[in-house]
């Protein structure tokens, strides 16, 4: 893992995400090395030659770029993070996310924060100071063997579930981001069953296989789960209704079970 300390010119940027007005990325790059990462396109803006997932640039001055006073963000949704994880292992030492959160409190945004790490529980005391805060954990699979294959740099699944419980018990609004849904490997109903009593709502996203993601995912499947290769080739070959049917199933299940489920599917990819 290559780590560099850099100086950023800005830290709060306009968002293209459907549920966020602004995003904050305390780090450039990521150490999770997820096989399915959609943010790998960011590499071309970094000047790095290393593979995506093997470098992290630490924006040392990020907290100082948060304005002390501004009405610009009051009531606006600010999300951490869109192309990195705010709780990378490096955050234990640098504490950038914690400092950023502290400086955001007086700006009164609607905070959204999502991670694959149980380190988020360290900042429960700060998260509780936001009038609106939605704290989420990503869970792609409950099988930790598969987790190690596709997200080798992330926290164990059980650690994330424990973190969700702790945040719920602290009175925070919690959510689980079930995504990307991996056909044949992600049991989204089971994830809901295991987390429902301490989760406020769920987000669902299907697997995006555009660009270099396809080679990364198919290479992993060929090595670890060859029996699934034909199914993925079918799903991501000619246009078919696989994801339409999955979306309908999720929507029907959530409606029947009175679950707040928010679906963000990419079709035709």
pLDDT score of 42 more than 80: no
As a whole number of angstroms, the distance between CA 221 and CA 184 comes to 11
Task: Give the bridge partners for 12, in sequence order.
Answer: 24
Kindly state whether residue 90 falls inside one of the protein's structural domains.
yes
Contacts of residue 127, defined as CB under 8 A and 6 or more positions apart, other chains included, come to: 101, 111, 113, 120, 133, 135, 167, 172
As a whole number of angstroms, the distance between CA 147 and CA 138 comes to 11
Q: In this predicted structure, what is the pLDDT of residue 49?
A: 63
Kindly state whether residue 133 falls inside one of the protein's structural domains.
yes
Residue 86 φ/ψ, nearest 5 degrees: -65, -15
pLDDT score of 161 more than 50: yes
As a whole number of angstroms, the distance between CA 193 and CA 198 comes to 11
Res. 19 pLDDT band, cuts 50 70 90: confident
Maximum Cα–Cα distance across the chain:
56
Kindly state whether residue 269 falls inside one of the protein's structural domains.
no
Q: Which two tokens stand for residue 246?
A: 């999955």
Helix then strand count (H, E) for the chain reads: 9, 11
Asked if residues 96 and 90 have their Cβ atoms less than 8 Å apart, the reply is no
Q: Which two tokens stand for residue 68?
A: 């002390």
Q: In this predicted structure, what is the pLDDT of residue 209?
A: 93
Q: Please give the average per-residue pLDDT across 142-170, as a whole number.
A: 98
Residue 231 domain boundaries: 2-263
Q: Please give the average per-residue pLDDT across 163-188, as a whole number.
A: 99
> Checking DSSP bridges between strand 173-181 and strand 201-206, what pairing results, if any?
parallel
As a whole number of angstroms, the distance between CA 86 and CA 70 comes to 23
Specify the DSSP element, H or E, that contains 243: helix 242-257
Asked if residues 67 and 101 have their Cβ atoms less than 8 Å apart, the reply is no
Kindly state whether residue 268 falls inside one of the protein's structural domains.
no
Q: Which residue has the higher pLDDT, 170 or 47?
A: 170
* CA nearest neighbour of 63 among 32, 107, 20: 107
Please report, for the domain that includes residue 57, its CATH number.
Answer: 3.80.30
Kindly state whether residue 32 falls inside one of the protein's structural domains.
yes
Q: In this predicted structure, what is the pLDDT of residue 139?
A: 99
pLDDT, one tens digit per residue, over 199-219 is 999 999 999 998 889 999 999
Res. 79 pLDDT band, cuts 50 70 90: very high
Question: For the chain, how many structural domains are there in total?
Answer: 1
Kindly state whether residue 246 falls inside one of the protein's structural domains.
yes
Q: In this predicted structure, what is the pLDDT of residue 48?
A: 63
β-sheet with 173-181: strand ranges across:
12-14, 22-24, 77-80, 110-115, 132-138, 173-181, 201-206, 261-263
* Average pLDDT of the chain, as a whole number: 94
pLDDT, one tens digit per residue, over 109-153 is 999 999 999 999 999 999 999 999 999 999 999 999 999 999 999
pLDDT, one tens digit per residue, over 64-75 is 999 998 899 999
């Amino acid at each position: 893992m290559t780590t560099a300390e850099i100086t950023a010119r800005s830290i709060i940027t306009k968002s293209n995400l459907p549920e966020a007005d602004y995003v904050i990325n305390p780090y450039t790059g990521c150490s999770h090395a997820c096989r399915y990462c959609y943010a790998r396109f960011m590499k071309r803006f970094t000047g790095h030659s290393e593979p995506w997932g093997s470098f992290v640039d630490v924006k040392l001055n990020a907290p100082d770029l948060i304005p002390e006073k501004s009405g610009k963000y009051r009531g606006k949704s600010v999300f951490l993070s869109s192309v990195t994880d705010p709780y990378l292992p490096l955050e234990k030492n640098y504490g950038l996310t914690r400092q950023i959160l502290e400086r955001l409190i007086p700006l009164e945004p609607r905070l959204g924060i999502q991670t694959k790490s149980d380190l988020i529980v360290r900042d429960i005391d700060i998260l509780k100071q936001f009038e609106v805060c939605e704290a989420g954990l990503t869970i792609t699979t409950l099988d930790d063997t598969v987790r190690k294959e596709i997200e080798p740099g992330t926290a164990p699944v059980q650690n994330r579930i424990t973190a969700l419980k702790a945040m719920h018990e602290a009175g925070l609004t919690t959510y689980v981001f079930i995504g990307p849904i991996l056909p044949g490997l992600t049991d989204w109903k089971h994830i809901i069953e295991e987390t429902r009593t301490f989760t406020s709502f769920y987000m669902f996203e299907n697997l995006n296989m555009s660009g270099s993601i396809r080679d990364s995912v198919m290479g992993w499947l060929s090595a670890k789960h060859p029996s699934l290769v034909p199914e993925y080739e079918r799903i991501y070959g000619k246009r078919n209704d696989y994801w339409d049917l999955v979306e309908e199933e999720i929507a029907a299940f959530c409606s029947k079970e009175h679950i707040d489920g928010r679906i963000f599917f990419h079709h035709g990819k």
